[in-house]
Amino acid sequence: MKKSFFVIVFVLIFLLSGCGVKTKKVKDPFISIKEQLDKLESYTVTAIVELYNNKIDNKFAVVQFYKKGKFRLEVLKESGSPDKIIVYDGKRSYVYFAKVNQVFVAENTEEIPLYSMITSFIKNYINSAGEVEKREMDKFYLITVPILDKNIFMYKEQMAFSKEDLAPKELTIFDINNEIFSKIIYKDFKYNPEINDKLFTKDSVMTLAGNLLNSTVIEIDAKEVYKYCGINPVMPVYLPQGFKLLNVLVNVNENNGVTFVYTSGKNLIEIFETVVDQNKIVNEKGVLLSEGVYYKEKDNGEKEYTTMVNGMQVKITVTGDLNEEEILKVIKSLR
């Protein structure tokens, strides 16, 4: 009898301990969200921004690119064309306004929709000093934090994270009276994607990211020209005062022609070199300027000089106030 009793007790203990091994503690989703935000190095997303300030509804889309402290915001009209493009290269912000077709260095950021960025929420979340509210809804996990640089219109914000993949889905910004100032809906969020650094340069600020990424023009180092083009380029020994090499580009749609871009302030010299059949360039030469050098003015006001050097066609396009004598010196110095 005693033996049977001890056997039963042993079996019960074994079963209970077995159940204890199988019971696995579920990780707190809010901890997982925090870990995911801490490891965010880059993202892309389309943000649909709705503003309710002064009861006047305003809606626009912002395509966002972020990478290790640099960002790019493309504010689009309903037609899909850019209203403004903001690029921050890690040191300065540049803003392109489509209405005036000009780029400005951003000193005042009041009209730049930085509040719609996911990293803006992360900054407030990390520095909230414990003033964080967390709630669980049917489809979302909600995190509410105070805004560091708060004002009467932007007092606190609440991010909704999807229960499926913990991705940010909606951001609601409340004013001091707890009324909605803005609601941002995030679409096509990509976590830590590879992003081309050229999107965060001053030179890219006037061009939509889609056009840049789909461009047939490749940026290369001057030392790699032969590798990509199969030609030994000619370089100017003489350049007008103040000019420096800015970039080297290869256009795969133009016989892998190579372009050297030199700048000085608003003045620009582009030297495009490619191998062509000499008979094919007769009709586009323009007016004979001097021996072997032809000139024409383009419709946009740019000046174009064409010549042949070492069996290659060289086109020099000039933007700005450079005079003809200076360009002829550049052409004669090509080696």
| pLDDT at position 266 | 77
The number of domains in the chain is 2
Same domain, 146 and 204: yes
Reported confidence tier of residue 58, pLDDT bands at 50, 70, 90 = confident
Asked whether the beta carbons of 61 and 76 are under 8 A apart, the reply is yes
- Distance between first and last Cα of the chain: 108
Task: Give the residue among 180, 223, 218 at the shortest CA–CA distance from 54.
Answer: 180
- Burial class for 247, CB neighbours closer than 10 Å (0-12, 13-18, 19+): middle
CA 206 to chain centre: 12
| CATH for 73 | 2.50.20.10
Reported confidence tier of residue 9, pLDDT bands at 50, 70, 90 = very low
- Retrieve residue 93's tokens: 């912000």
| CATH for 282 | 3.30.200.100
Asked which of 173, 190, 210 is the last residue of a domain, the reply is 210
Asked which of 210, 234, 264 is the last residue of a domain, the reply is 210
| pLDDT at position 11 | 47
The torsion angle over the Cα atoms of residues 277, 278, 279 and 281, rounded to 10 degrees, is 100
258's CB contacts (< 8 A; 6+ apart) are 225, 228, 229, 231, 233, 248, 249, 250, 272, 273, 274
Asked whether the beta carbons of 294 and 287 are under 8 A apart, the reply is yes
- Retrieve residue 58's tokens: 């305003």
Same domain, 254 and 168: no
For residue range 290-307, list pLDDT tens digits in order.
Answer: 888 999 988 778 899 999
Tell me if residue 89 falls in helix, strand or coil: coil
- Retrieve residue 165's tokens: 């993949």
pLDDT above 70 covers a percentage of the chain that reads 86
Asked whether the beta carbons of 142 and 136 are under 8 A apart, the reply is yes
- What span, in angstroms and rounded, lies between the C-alpha atoms of 186 and 184? 6
- Burial class for 271, CB neighbours closer than 10 Å (0-12, 13-18, 19+): buried
For residue range 115-133, list pLDDT tens digits in order.
Answer: 999 999 999 999 987 789 9
Domain that holds residue 131: 29-210
